[in-house]
Amino acid sequence: MKNCDQFRGLFGAYALGALDAKERAAFEAHLATGCKDCASQLAYMAPEAAPSDMLKGRLMRIVRGETQLTSPPSLARGVAIPFWMWAGAASLLALTVYSTWNSQHLEQKIKAANARAAALLQQRHDLEAELERTRCESVILTDPASVKIDSAPQDPQAPPIEAKWHAKLGIVLTGQKVPVPSGNRILQLWLIPKTPGGKPIPSLTFRLSAEGKFDLLVRNPPELMEQTKALAITEEPEGGSQAPTTPVRWFGAIR
């Protein structure tokens, strides 16, 4: 006999609730073992019954509630937007604003850094140029091959201007306590050629400090020293002239 045979006569009583507590407990313990035969037999014993009106109403309310929850917000009228959705939208807006500000702030920092780098690069370039200029002047002033030229003033009360000319590097002019030209006028250097009737060749213009001091470097003059007989300095309008417009104020012959 199968173990479930002892429960064959209990199906109807169990379905009607007529078993005592001990029999009911034993029968349910047997069903709990997973006996498919007894479970099938018990299912056949269940009487057919239609759901009550109360159960139908409850089921319909549940179905309608789930339909509203799953409906798109655009199809539901008067549905309140959940707080978490507002919070998410606010967080997204805040993140967008912060990202935009952060991007603009970073762009400004990059521009400032580039400006500082460009300024430092320019300072380095200027310093290198000044060092090269100083080196060149030093060579011209100390090299025995340089020719010294004393430019005497036409005004006896004005100081002389000294010049040294290196055939390969150029000319260095220096002066101290030189009278400062009035207004916007400046001083201009001229190279006087040896060729008879030759016109003065315009060279660089320069300004004086408040104390009348200057230091001028003329690199690679347009004419060779052998073709130049003298240096001259005149007072000219700002920007210089192509031909002297005032009398020579300093003149120095090359010997």
Among 9, 25, 48, the domain-final residue is 48
Task: Tell me: do 123 and 208 sit in the same domain.
Answer: no
| Confidence (pTM) | 0.55
Structural domain count, the chain: 3
d(CA 228, CA 231): 8
Task: Tell me: do 157 and 243 sit in the same domain.
Answer: yes
With respect to residue 217, please indicate whether it lies within any of the assigned structural domains: yes
pLDDT range class, residue 146, cuts 50, 70, 90: very high
Token pair for residue 150? 């004393």
Convert the pLDDT of each residue in 183-200 to its tens digit.
889 999 999 999 988 999
Residue 173 amino acid letter: L
Convert the pLDDT of each residue in 47-68 to its tens digit.
555 555 664 565 566 656 655 5
Domain that residue 19 falls in: 1-48
Task: Tell me: do 154 and 243 sit in the same domain.
Answer: yes
d(CA 150, CA 92): 81
Residue 116 has pLDDT above 90, yes or no: no
With respect to residue 61, please indicate whether it lies within any of the assigned structural domains: no
Task: Tell me: do 152 and 135 sit in the same domain.
Answer: no
